């Protein structure tokens, strides 16, 4: 399982969250506490918004704790909205193109979790990509595929509904392929203005996700990045947290519906 954080608010330097806290994301790349693997050393990535509509992106396949460039960049870059991610591979190669976040135009996405039976459903899901989205596919992860399945027009209209539809399609493919393993995820999605953070699982074991309102803005994390655990609020299972421009946060239920016939087949 991977670890990630997202921030939206007044511009701050990235190292304020990525490296300075006692249990920062870089610390979690070696010593995570709320996931199956304590080490998340299969690459890392940063994505941030600045002067342009499209986000900046820096990713590498080396461990986060061993990259001086990462430390220098996070110390120099200030942003009002940014993502950071440290990766623990679930089987796909440790390469730069498989590191999060993923970017398409102004949209940015990152993910932690698993798509059960990915090797059995990958072909049918990738076949659903439009030609334009298929040509954006650079890596081999389930995470990038989920992102690219989010149709650009659907994203512009309703990002939450777009995510719900993609996860429903993924669950259908899993059930039709006879996959018993669950679909579990936390994910962050943004257009550079609104931030959506999802926590979902098809069983009762969703990956951990927390958020906190601070003086500067709102931070969403896989696990608390400091010792003040009582100041972090867990995002409820099967929920989506939306952070609006200006800092207003709202929580909503995020249920993924599949047909009753398919649900019966998997039960």
Determine whether 264 is exposed, middle or buried from the number of CB atoms within 10 Å of its CB (0-12, 13-18, 19+): exposed
Task: Kindly report the length of the chain.
Answer: 267
Number of domains in the chain: 1
User: The domain containing residue 155 runs over which residues?
Assistant: 3-266
Please state the pTM of the whole predicted model. Answer: 0.95
Rounded Cα gap, residues 46 and 204, in angstroms: 30
Which has more confidence, 220 or 260?
A: 220
Average pLDDT of the chain to the nearest whole number: 94
- Which burial class, exposed, middle or buried, applies to 131 when counting CB atoms under 10 A from its CB (0-12, 13-18, 19+)? exposed
Res. 259 pLDDT band, cuts 50 70 90 = low
Task: Supply the CATH number for residue 67's domain.
Answer: 3.60.20.10
**What digits encode the pLDDT tens for the residues 9-44?**
999 999 999 999 999 999 999 999 998 778 989 999
Residue 43: φ, ψ to 5° = 110, 170
User: To 10 degrees, what angle do helices 159-176 and 142-149 make?
Assistant: 130
pLDDT over threshold 60, residue 260: no
Distances (CA, A) of 54 to 70, 103, 125: 20, 8, 27
Using the predicted structure, report yes or no on whether residue 91 has a pLDDT greater than 80. Answer: no
pLDDT, residue 267, reads: 46
- Exposure of 139 by Cβ count < 10 A (0-12 exposed, 13-18 middle, 19+ buried)? middle
Identify the DSSP state of 240.
E
Three-state SS for 59-126 is EECCCHHHCHHHHHHHHHCEEEEEEEEECCCCCCCCCHHHCCCEEECCEEEEEEEEECCHHHHHHHHH
Write out pLDDT tens, residues 197-256: 999 999 999 999 999 999 999 999 999 999 999 999 999 999 999 999 988 999 999 999
pLDDT of residue 122 exceeding 50: yes
- Whether the predicted pLDDT of 193 surpasses 60: yes
- Return d(Cα 122, Cα 201) in angstroms, integer: 19
């Amino acid at each position: 399982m991977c670890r990630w954080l997202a921030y939206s608010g007044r511009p701050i330097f990235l190292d304020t969250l990525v490296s300075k806290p006692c249990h920062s994301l870089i610390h979690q790349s070696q010593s995570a506490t709320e996931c199956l693997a304590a080490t998340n050393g299969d690459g890392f990535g940063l994505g941030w918004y600045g002067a342009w509509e499209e986000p900046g992106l820096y990713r590498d396949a080396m461990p986060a704790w061993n990259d001086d460039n990462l430390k220098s960049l996070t110390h120099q870059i200030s942003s009002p909205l940014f993502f950071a991610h440290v990766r623990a591979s679930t089987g796909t190669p440790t390469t730069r193109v498989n590191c999060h976040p993923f970017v398409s135009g102004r949209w940015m996405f990152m993910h932690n979790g698993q798509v059960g039976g990915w090797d059995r459903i990958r072909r049918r899901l990738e076949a659903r990509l439009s030609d334009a989205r298929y040509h954006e596919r650079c890596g081999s992860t389930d995470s990038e595929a989920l992102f690219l399945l989010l149709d650009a027009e659907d994203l512009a209209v309703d990002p939450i509904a777009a995510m719900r539809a993609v996860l429903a399609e993924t669950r259908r493919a899993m059930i039709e392929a006879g996959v018993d393993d669950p679909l579990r995820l936390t994910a962050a999605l943004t257009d550079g203005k609104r931030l959506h953070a999802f926590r979902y699982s098809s069983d009762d074991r969703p990956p951990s996700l927390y958020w906190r309102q601070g003086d500067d803005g709102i931070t969403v994390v896989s696990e608390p990045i400091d010792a003040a655990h009582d100041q972090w609020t867990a995002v409820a299972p099967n929920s989506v947290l939306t952070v609006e421009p200006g800092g207003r946060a709202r929580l909503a239920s995020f249920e993924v519906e599949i047909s009753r016939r398919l649900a019966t087949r998997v039960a």
